Amino acid sequence: MNLPIYFDNHATTRIDPRVLQAMMPCLTEAYGNAASRSHSFGWTADHAVENARAQVARLLSATSKDIVFTSGATESNNLAIKGAVEAARADHPELRPHILTQATEHKAVLDVFHWLEKQGCRITILPVARDGRIRLEDLLTAIDDEKPLLVSIMAANNEIGTLQPFDDIGRLCHDRGILFHTDAAQAAGKIPLDVNRSHIDLLSISGHKIYGPKGVGALYVRRRNPRVALAEQMHGGGHERGMRSGTLNVPGIVGLGAACEIAAAEMSQESARLAALRNRLESRLESALDRAHVNGSREHRLPGNLNMTFDHVDGESLMMGLKDVAVSSGSACTSAAIEPSHVLRAIGLTDEAAHSSIRFGLGRFNTEEEIDYVADRLVDVVHKLRELSPEYADIT
C-alpha cells in the first residue's frame, strides 16, 4: 500500500491507463483538426471524434447524433439550461419562463438558475427530504400549479451520493410536455442510464469523473420526441450542430469515449466492488465510534459514496489529522468556502454538524487494505480530538 491514499473520487479521478493509451496517438502523430476536411490528418481526427461520440452515446442508451461535446459538465449545464431558455425566448423576447430545480443541486446548476432569475426568469427551488431525495408530491404540485419550461434535477448528488428518482421525474415531465435536464456528472458510468426509459431530454457528463481527462464533457440533446431546441452559448465556427463552436479537443474527446466504453463494460462488477468497500468502511467506523451518522440515503446512493458526520469533531481538524488521506468536507468546487455545505444544510443538518462531516469518495483504484488503514487512522484521530472537546466530555 502506498501513501498518500486518495479517497476523493467525487472531486476528480485518476485517468485510467487504458484511457491514456487511447489518447496518445491524438497527441502525437494523429494530431489533425477534426474540422479539416481536405486531408488525411483531418479525416483521421474526425473519425476518432465520431467513434468517441458513439461510445458516449452507448453509455447513455442514446444515438450518436444526440451527443454534443463540451469542456465539461459545468459548460453542459449552462448550455442546456440557458440554451433552452433563450431558444424559448427567441420568438417571444417578453417571455418570462418558469424553471424548476431542487436545493441540493451542484452550484453549476443553482448559479445558472440565480443568474437567469436576474434575467427575468421565474425560478422554483424545491426542498428535499432528510435523505436528500426530492418528494415527488412536491414536484407534482409545483409543476401543476405553474407549468415550467424546464425541470433540472441531478441524477446523483456529489456530496452525499443520493440518487434521485429520475425515472419518475422524467415520466412526470414527459407527460406534461416539460423539458427534463439532469446533471449526471456523478452518475454516469456508476449506475445504468437510459435517456429513453427515463424520458431525459438533456443530460450532462464530465470526463474527469469517470477516469477520463479533465477539460472535456458532453451534453445529450434529444433530437426526437420531442426535438429539443437550444440557443448556442459560444459563437464561432458552428461546430457541434451549431450548439458549441470551437476547435474540438480531439485527445480529450477520444479519452472521454474510451472512459465511457470501459465504464459501460465494467459497471456492474465495479459498482458491486465499490459498494462492498463502502460498506466495509461504514461498518468499521460505526462499530468503533459513537455519535457517527451517515448523511443521505442508505438505500438510494452511489456505490462509492460515504458521507458521515462525527459529532463534536471539527471536520477541518479531522482532515488535518489525516494528512496522508485525501478526503473532502464537501464539494471540491466549494470546499474552500467558510460556509457549511448547502447540501448538508438542505437535508437538515445544523451548521455545527455540517462542519463535522467528511465525504469519502471511493473509486476504481482503491483497495480493501486502504479501507482498513483509513478506518483505523480515522478512529484514532476522532478519539484524540474528542478528548479535547468539552462538549463531548459533558455527554460522556
Q: Could you give the residue numbers annotated as active site?
A: 333
Q: What are the residues whose beta carbons fall under 8 Å from the beta carbon of 145, sequence distance 6 or more?
A: none
Distance CA 112, CA 118 (A): 10
Quick check: helix, strand or coil at residue 361? strand
93: its cell numbers: 423576447
Name the residue among 57, 56, 332 with its Cα closest to residue 207: 56
Beta-sheet strand order (sheet of 357-361): 292-294, 305-310, 357-361
Distance CA 219, CA 192 (A): 17
Q: What are the residues whose beta carbons fall under 8 Å from the beta carbon of 177, sequence distance 6 or more?
A: 147, 226
Name the residue among 260, 216, 321 with its Cα closest to residue 55: 260
Distance CA 388, CA 1 (A): 31
The neighbouring-strand residues paired with 301 are 162
Distance CA 329, CA 360 (A): 9
Distance CA 294, CA 266 (A): 27
Distance CA 102, CA 112 (A): 13
Name the residue among 352, 17, 70, 118 with its Cα closest to residue 215: 70
**Which residue has 461504514 as its cell numbers?**
282
Distance CA 13, CA 107 (A): 20
Q: What is the DSSP string of 41-104?
A: HHHHHHHHHHHHHHHHHHHHT--GGGEEEESSHHHHHHHHHHHHHHHHHSS-TT---EEEEETT
